[in-house]
Amino acid sequence: MVPGPRQPVQAFFEKYPDVPREVILKEDMLRLGVRFSEEALESAKGCRPKSYYLFSWDRMSRDDMEKDESYRTPDDLFFHGGPNGLRLTNVRVEIAKNTPYLVSLSDGSPMLFEDGKPIAEIRYPKRPHYYGYAFEDGTSYGQVIPLLFGRMAFITMYRLCQFGPDEQCKFCDINASSVDLRERSKKVGGRVDIEHVVYDTVKDPGKVATVAEAMYRDMFIDNKEDLENRMISIIMTSGTIKKTLKGLKPVDFYLQYVTAIRRKIGNRIPIVLIVEALQEEDMWRLHEAGVTVYNPNIEVWDDRLFESLCPGKAKYFGRKKWVEQMLKAVDVFGVGNVSPNFVAGVEMAQPMGFKDVDQAVNSTKEGFEFMMSRGVIPHPDTWCIEAQSPLGAHPPIPLDYFIKMNKAWYTTWTKYALPPNNGWGPVGNGCGCYGNSGYVDMREGRLQAL
């Protein structure tokens, strides 16, 4: 795969008239990242700030951020309007240096520019009220559980992966990002950033439950008129635990958090658990304790690429076993409640991946067909090529791949008359709230009950 000269996004609007323009722009921003002018950074003060809850989700290292962007940018953006009359669409902020996309001010208001030309108006995410709360040790509630895209409470129970350096997924920077944050916290007296966060590799279940309760009260009782920040799900995840952590087997470690949260807020909010492939009896234990959705992330469909890109998962679990357990999970959690991810685009990672866009899309489509025909609803996350990952120097994947991949997801999803994957918000152009992929923005209009 040799990247050619970049075409402006307008050329892709014309090339794919059957795909919402919001999907195309969103995917291009996710694959190339965005930068901010100093004036735009100043105007973003007081919004919901960027949270490093798991990976870096940035295309450059923090050491290379000359404007301290990692502390000053919003977690995500809403773009809308502009010369193409775009619908309001949410997209994750991925900081990059060499990108055509710039957020700057125009007549005092934030605007998105592509190669110097205005393309969309920008709105910053509103800061939730509970972000102003802190524990006595200074730990911010908003960093114990950040609110992604204004909708998803995200809990990283364990901020490392137990796979060794040669076993870690090649596209992942969880350990590198975690070590970087920990070292930075030491340099500033135990604080990670302007949110005054004490760095914890393992989050305290009691603190997590306390924040979950505060979030529920904030959003549904005390500030229920703030509809921009309204929790629709609790996403819980962890780096892979190979055997035990703090003397506990993986399922027992996860259950601490599930039980503590359910005791505080009951069963009102769905819990999505993103962890490794588990045995069926462990899935039942989690389901009975209150886990609503189970996501054993498979990352990539092609068996050869699974072996090379996910060596730890291949070694300790194996692709065949992973797929078997994923299918069994539907019997435990139900259709719509098993939603493993694909790292969309990593199919074209070189030198091991496909060099042709259509071949890569067909491989992904094969995975969509296999899963959805069996009640599993995968969710594609656009590959953010993170600087600290083993593939950090890889060039961007062609935009055509992401556009065709989203079409394949939507076509397969509608073919099997499936519900939205629970926990990730609605599917519909102008109402999708998941900022990591354009698949949620594919459907025209608001989603009707099936």
CA distance 101 to 382: 17
pLDDT of residue 178: 81
Q: Residue 52: which of 200, 205, 249, 208 has the closest Cα?
A: 200
Write out residues in the chain with pLDDT < 70, as ranges: 1-4, 184-199, 444-450
* Strands 76-81 vs 117-123: parallel, antiparallel or unpaired: antiparallel
Taking only the tens place, the pLDDT of each residue in 29-57 is 999 999 999 999 999 999 999 887 778 88
CB-based contact 379:339 (threshold 8 Å): yes
pLDDT of residue 201: 85
pLDDT of residue 270: 97
Domain ranges of the chain: 9-123
pLDDT of residue 21: 97
Identify the residue whose tokens are 């999970």: 329
CA distance 332 to 197: 37
- By CB atoms closer than 10 A (0-12, 13-18, 19+), residue 267 is exposed
pLDDT of residue 108: 95
Q: Residue 316: which of 166, 157, 158 has the closest Cα?
A: 166
CB-based contact 174:55 (threshold 8 Å): yes
